[in-house]
Amino acid sequence: MLTIPQINLKNKVSAQEWQTRIDLAACYRLIAMHGWDDLIYTHISARIPDSEHLLINAFGLAFDEITASNLVKIDIAGNIVDPECPFEINPAGFTIHSAVHEARHDAQCVLHLHTNETIAVASLQEGLLPLSQYAMFALASISYHDYEGLAVNADEKLRLQNNLGSANFMLLRNHGGLTLGATIGDAFMHMYDLTRACQVQLQVMATGMATILVDQSIVDGIKAQANIVHTGSTGGQKAWPAMVRKVYRADPSFAT
């Protein structure tokens, strides 16, 4: 049985970096708790405040094995910053994240998942439909990117950046979902809404009954409301601490 190298960086990094590590590790654990992880694949990346460096998961670790200290610090090109780091990252998985971080300096966190629900809705020609309140938040700021195979080609990055634009939600056709946030908490809240929206859509479609679509004029007016609900004191700042407490109760080892 392979063992995970045990390291503790708490007193070896800045306070800002340590807090980012705590929040990012908590996010990984939450994804596992919701059953949204994909073995050792998919990624959540976060920019360290006042730094050009990013944090991402070590390749080979399950999401419920992620801790604040075993997150890997890299530059925008995916190079590991600490030469003594015992881990490696998945270069193919970082292609999408590097593209987003390069283009969107307003986003601290990029979250990309392969849940069945997001893949299913991303594979529908109509994409996400205005069927639920969860969908309203995503539809207020959504974009799409066509499938081009495994995300390993550098020339795909520009197309992905152009497709993303200023959106905070993206459905990657035949692939999965992606959300951004000014904080890790905001990115998680966005993914929560996107996933619930896709779940509800598939459940409604499965009934085979006539649907009621929310009028586009209402969708257009949701964006300002969504900005209030999911940022500031009523969004990431308010809900995220409760989510972190939930992770502490489940397994406080994430914060080591």
Highest mean pLDDT among 6-20, 25-39, 94-108, 212-226: 25-39
The span from the CA of 129 to the CA of 151, in Å, is: 26
Secondary structure of 47-67 as H, E, C letters: ECCCCCCEEECCCCCCHHHCC
Please tell me what DSSP assigns to residue 251: -
Note the pLDDT tens digit of each residue in 204-247: 999 999 999 999 888 888 776 766 655 555 556 788 999 999 99
pLDDT at 224: 66
pTM of the model: 0.92
Note the pLDDT tens digit of each residue in 124-147: 999 999 999 999 989 989 999 999
The span from the CA of 256 to the CA of 251, in Å, is: 11
Note the pLDDT tens digit of each residue in 34-63: 999 999 999 999 999 999 999 999 999 999
Structural domains of the chain, ranges and CATH numbers in brackets? 15-247 (3.40.225.10)
Any idea what the Cα angle at residue 99 is, between residues 93 and 102, rounded to 5°?
Answer: 135
Q: Which two tokens stand for residue 19?
A: 């807090």
Torsion of CA 89, 91, 92, 95, to 10 degrees: 110
pLDDT at 228: 62
Q: Is 159 exposed, middle or buried (0-12, 13-18, 19+ CB in 10 A)?
A: middle
